[in-house]
Every structure is written in structure tokens, then in C-alpha cells.
Structure 1
Amino acid sequence: MAPINDYVPKPTASSIPVTLPELKAYILNVTKEAAAKKKNYECHRYGTFMTHFSRSHLEGIFWGLFGVVVLLLCTASYSHAKSEQLYQYDECHPNDAIELKQKHQRKRFNAVITTTICFLAAALSVALEGLAGTALMYCQQHKVINFYWAMWGLTQVGSLIAIIGVTIHQWTSLKQHKTPPWNIALGTPILVITAAAFLFGNWIKKKWLKATGSQEEIE
């Protein structure tokens, strides 16, 4: 943030007021100029490349990407559900042909790719939404921007974390790693974060046991 003095115009000898009405008008004018300069500075600083976008364009970007993230969440959850059905089928039919199991494995790998793409696209969308919201806040002085931020934080960031949970679950299932005893797919932020910590801890332990030559196995 620039110093407040940068927003206040420097007075000249001819601009110094003499009478009380002139003083009031001068103070009002200086205040307006300082506020305008501050608004322009914050708009260019926080609005980035969306500085010159109109309000309708910014709202279109925000709500358009809002729908995109919800659609990506539905896509990831559908892919996860189909993959879980394959796992359940294989567990109930252990004597199926190898060709069928390989086919299911390929489908599960496709599910991993799908959820990963959904995660990357959702992360980009959420970031652009945040920029659009910031531009609405600092450049357009949107009156109900707090509602936008509430929807963005609750629905969009929450959806992104849920997609991360699905992606982690798909990868661990495909690699047959040990997973946490709680459900991480479409889970809350706390479940996803603790699951990531759980998997990271297992990875560290595995590396440590390998380095020390221990025979203990980690699934």
C-alpha cells in the first residue's frame, strides 16, 4: 500500500484557501482527489489484467466459472463412483478372467486421469474467480461483494478441496497404497488435509525403513 501522502495533491500558493467556504471546498476537493487516486491505485494493484473489464464482464466471468467448477465437481464425483463400482465388482468376482481385470484397471486409470484434469481445471477456475471478485471489489466498488466472497469460499474452494480428495483417493487406490480409515473422496477440508498428512507420513516412514534396512512392510 502506498503512503497516504501519495494520494493527497500538493498545494500551491494559488490554491491555498483564504475564506472559510474556500477552505471547506478545498478540503472536500482534496479528499475526493485522494480517494480517487487511492481507488485507482488499488484497482491496478489488485485487479491485475482485469482492471479494464466492465462490471458485467467481471460478473460473467465470476458466475460462469462458478458453474464450471460445479460441473467439474460433478464430473469428478461421477468418475469416482464408476471407478468404485469396478473395485466392488472385482472384489465380488475374484475368479474373473485376467483380461477383464486388466480392462477394469484401464478404466480405473482413466478415472484417475479424469479427476486429475478436473482438479487442474478447477484450480485455474477458482483462481480466476478470485481475480474477478477482487476486480469487482476494488475497481467496480461492488456493494454486495461480501456475498460473492461467501459463495466463492464456501462452494468453490470447498468444491476444489473435494476434487482434491477424489483425486488423492483415486491415485492411492490405483497404486494400492494404504489409505486412511476415514473417507477422503468428496470429504471436508479437514478430512482431505489429514489424509494428505497421513499419506505423507507413510511415505516418510517407507523411505526411512528402506534407508535403515528394516524388514517392516508398509502397504
Structure 2
Amino acid sequence: MGGQFSPKDPMRCPHYARFAAHLERPQFDGIYWTFFFSVIFILFVSSWIYQSTMRYREKPENCEHTFRRKLKISLAWCTALFFLAAILLIFEVFALLALQFCDGEDLMSLYWSTWTMLQLGSEIAILGINLAMWHQLFNVRQPLWALALGTPVLVVAGIGHIIHLALRMFYKKAKKSRRASKDVRGEMTEVSASSSSAPTIKPEREHVDQASTPATGESMCFAIDVGDDERVRQWPSFVRMSDGKAIVRLTAIHA
């Protein structure tokens, strides 16, 4: 039976109610209340799953591997229940739109407020259960406020907490990769600089007059800049190291 003060709207009825526009009042009334209590029942089941999983961890004989396996199964079930409740909520919305535009219900404000508080609130509470189990599964520190079965505001704050953790993790990984690439570039620069610098030989004649020609058998000493090459110590003419340079003695031989 339609409302006495809210007339039917034949233009908006098929536009908003879609499939429910072709149903009668008892039919979309039954759809709404059946799905209404179904969503409440799904919330109860999700809370039971979460509570049984968390209670296992408090048992003395609990095993971390078994707990994580139970946690994965519970998270999968609660996620499936979350999507099932979302589908039921969509059908409820069409039923409410049919009540409003196709039947002209006078008390639609009570319907919408109840749906928002209990149905949409239950959906958000189930999402909070999933977020709490996700924190447990990945060993992420939970926020200080209640997340599982929390109010919509607390659950939305929990989503913001996850976004904050994800951004901080991304920043740390980017900073670490940038630092690693900088170290690699520095090592490549050092290697190229050391490979491009060839050993230079600076002859330093000791106690010999530069204007005279060395006689046969006369020895001269040279200082050779060999860098970090240790193979110079194996040379037969090697004398010693001085100021980072290798001192070698060469003997003049005239043909």
C-alpha cells in the first residue's frame, strides 16, 4: 500500500529501482528485510571466525605455523563474506528505491537511516575484521584504536593507517635503492679512474752528472710511480719503496 503523503513517481521509479520497479510492495519489502537480517547474520559469522582464530593464539599448545594457516583461511572466508554482504546491500538499495519512488513510502527517512547505520555500518565492521587479520598475517603493528568490529570512523582511520605504512615502506625502499645505485656509480667511477691512470716513470738519477754519459757497469736509480701494483716488488731491479714510489736500480751496458 502506497503512502498517503508521498505520491508515486512513475518517471523515477523505473529509472532508479530498475528490476524492482516491476515488483509489488510485498515482494521488494520481502527482499529488503530478508537481506537486512542476512547482512546482520554475516556480521555475526565474521565476528565468530575472527574470535575463534584469535583465541587459538592464546592457547598454551598453539603453533605459529598452524596459527598462520588458520589466519589465512579465516581471512579468505571473511573476505568472501564481505563481498557477499556488499552484493546484498546493492539489492537492498534497489528495494529501498522501489519503496520510495514506486510505492511512495512516507517513512523513507527511517528506512534510509536504519540502512545506513546497521547495514552499511555492518559492512564497514566486516572490513575492519579483514584489516585486523591482515595486520596479524603480515606482522604489522596494529593501530592503538579498536580496528576489528570498530565504528566506521575507526575503520576508515585503520585504512589511513595502512596507507601510511605502505607509503613509508615505499619511501624506505626507494631511498635504499637510490643509495645502492649511488654506491654502484661511485665504485664504477673509482674503477674507471684507476684503470685509466697508467704508471708513469720519472727517472731520477742519483749521484750521477746529467751531462756525462754513464760508463759501462755504472748504476742509476729510478723512481717509478706504480700506484697500488704490488708486482713491482718481484722485479730483479727493485730496491725499495719510497713515498709511494718504487726505487729500481738499472746498470748501464754499452755495446
TM-score range, shorter chain: 0.7 to 0.9
Aligned residues of 1:166 and 1:184 also touching (Cα < 8 A)? yes
1:82 aligns with 2:45: no
CA RMSD of aligned residues (A): 1.9
Say yes or no: does 1:157 pair with 2:127: no
Question: Hey, which of these two has a bigger chunk of helix by percent?
Answer: 1
Q: After the TM superposition, which segments of 4 or more aligned residues of structure 1 sit over 4 Å from their partners?
A: none
- Aligned-partner Cα distance in 2 for 1:170–1:157: 20
Q: Which residue of the partner structure matches residue 209 of structure 1?
A: 172
What TM-score, normalized by structure 2, do the two folds share?
0.64
Could you tell me which amino acid in structure 2 is paired with residue 68 of structure 1?
S
Task: Write out per-residue CA displacement over residues 100-141 of structure 1, whole angstroms, 9 at most, x where no aligned residue.
Answer: 432232212111111111111111111211111011100111
**Mapped pair 1:73 → 2:43:** yes
Higher relative contact order (CA 8 A, sep 6+): 1
User: For the residues of structure 1 that align with 2:110 and 2:12, how far apart are their CA atoms?
Assistant: 21
- Alignment match of 1:56 (pick from 6, 26, 29): 26
> Retained in 2: the 8 A contact 1:47–1:131?
yes
TM-score by length of 1: 0.74
Higher strand share: 2
Q: 2:17 aligns with which of 35, 47, 64?
A: 47
Q: State which structure, 1 or 2, has the greater radius of gyration over its C-alpha atoms.
A: 2
2:160 corresponds to which letter in structure 1?
A
Gaps of 5+ in 1: 1-35, 215-219
Provide structure 2 residue ranges, at least 5 long, that are not aligned to the other structure.
Answer: 1-6, 178-255
1:88 is displaced (CA, Å) by 2.4
Q: Does 1:148 align with 2:106?
A: no
Count residues in correspondence.
172
Structure 1 equivalent of residue 99 of structure 2: 136
Find the aligned partners of 2:43 and 2:138 in 1 and give their Cα distance: 23
